[in-house]
Amino acid sequence: MIKKIEIETLLAQASDRDFVHLAFDWAEKHHSGQKRLDGSPYILHPYRVALELGKWKMDDTSLIAGLLHDLIEDTDVIQGDIDSEFGEEIASIVTALTKIKELPAISKDTENLRQLILAMGKDVRVIIIRLADKLDNMRTAEFLEPGHRERFARGVLEIYAPLAHRLGMNVVKTELENRAFAVLHSDEFKKIEERLRRLHPRASGVIKAVERDLAQKFHTSGVSDVIIQARVKSPLSIYRKVLKRSKKIDELEDIIAVRIITEDTADCYKVLALLHEIYIPVSGSFTDYISYPKLNMYQSIHTTCDVGGEIVEFQIRTAAMHRTSEYGIAAHWRYKDMSARAVAGLRNWLDSFYEWQMDKLSREEFVRNLKTELSYDEIFVLTPKGDVKRLIDGSSVIDFAYAVHSDIGDHFRGCLVNGVMQPMHYILKSGDRVEILTAKRAHPSHDWLKIAKSPSTRYKIRRRLRDK
């Protein structure tokens, strides 16, 4: 059973220790006698889920819902019981978690996927708790029957890892991805791990040289309180590079990543300048996600440099940006310290994710929309005034028009991209500056649906067509 010292570890994360302790005792009582597939007491699973949520700095409501998340499904407890003991908010979250229990893959069980999106739109903590649940289950996946293990891993790779990415929870995304990859592509995973072991001496030498060079340069330049973290990229990241570039692992050049964490934003740009004094930057590799954050609130400066013949990717960010890059929205939940821009960006994404559910979609279009929404790739496009609009990679001009405002999209007549007239189906690239030309008499046609990339854009076009 769980020792007192382990309970204290959980309670140390809580604001109301007594309330969280009550939830633990309640869960332990109702799960009494139940076992996990590895033979351990079942209570260990909800305990670990709550502990993970505490690590992510989630609030007490989340910790308690994590402790209780399996009760309605696996015991005789009903929603009313949880409501009476812990309140309507916690009971509602646990009920929503019960409804979205199993998602085998993105192309199956679309009704359950709809429930997931609806629940997330009402309270994003539902999906954050489910991510903690999936993470713990993936850590013990070896005890599942092989067929079930593969189905479970596929759902994690296709749905939950991308959702973690969209919420900015990159640590969670990476672990989910790599554990699912190890299940679904075990041979490739083992080959990559073996090759990485062989490359370790080379990579280790490069990492030590970079750490030495940077420490010396920062010291002589008066840059202090800088943390340098270096690593070899993850197996799945390397596997994707192999497929994309049609190369063998030994031929990949950029398998090393270095993260530099500073005290403030000004130091990020100072570090960038110093970095480019030491090493030769690779042309076209610079991206400023500090000035232009990603949709999931991620901020960092990216640059790739030649380090003595080895290609190394550098990420430069502040400590606050690092916390957000690791745990995304969860990093801010308890302290309510998300910036207004981050809150607006997350809300806009959740709203757009939610609104296209209003349409009666075929199974095929629902799956297409979901895959688009969960895509990792995005671009930033500028308005004539310099405002930034984040779009899914592959978006056309009409997607941009509707992202600015529905009324602008509805009356689209033409556009200028970087000062040049372009057709509606023109595919935008990061950094493009776009001016939309409108006319009162212009209005959408069904052909626009074939051009739009974003599910939200297609929803708005359909809505306008219905209103005509």
Which residues are identified as catalytic? 73-74
Q: How crowded is residue 454: how many other Cβ atoms within 10 Å of its Cβ? A: 23
CA dihedral 241, 245, 248, 253 (to 10 degrees): -70
Q: Give the pair of three-digit tokens for residue 31.
A: 């799960």
Checking DSSP bridges between strand 301-307 and strand 310-318, what pairing results, if any? antiparallel
**Distance (Å, whole) CA 93 – CA 197:** 44
**Distance (Å, whole) CA 308 – CA 245:** 23
First and final CA of the chain: distance in angstroms? Answer: 65
**Distance (Å, whole) CA 159 – CA 374:** 8
Residue partners of 311: CB distance under 8 A and separation at least 6: 253, 254, 256, 282, 304, 305
**Distance (Å, whole) CA 378 – CA 26:** 44
Instruction: Identify the CA nearest to 52 among candidates 170, 136, 108.
Output: 136
**Distance (Å, whole) CA 103 – CA 302:** 35
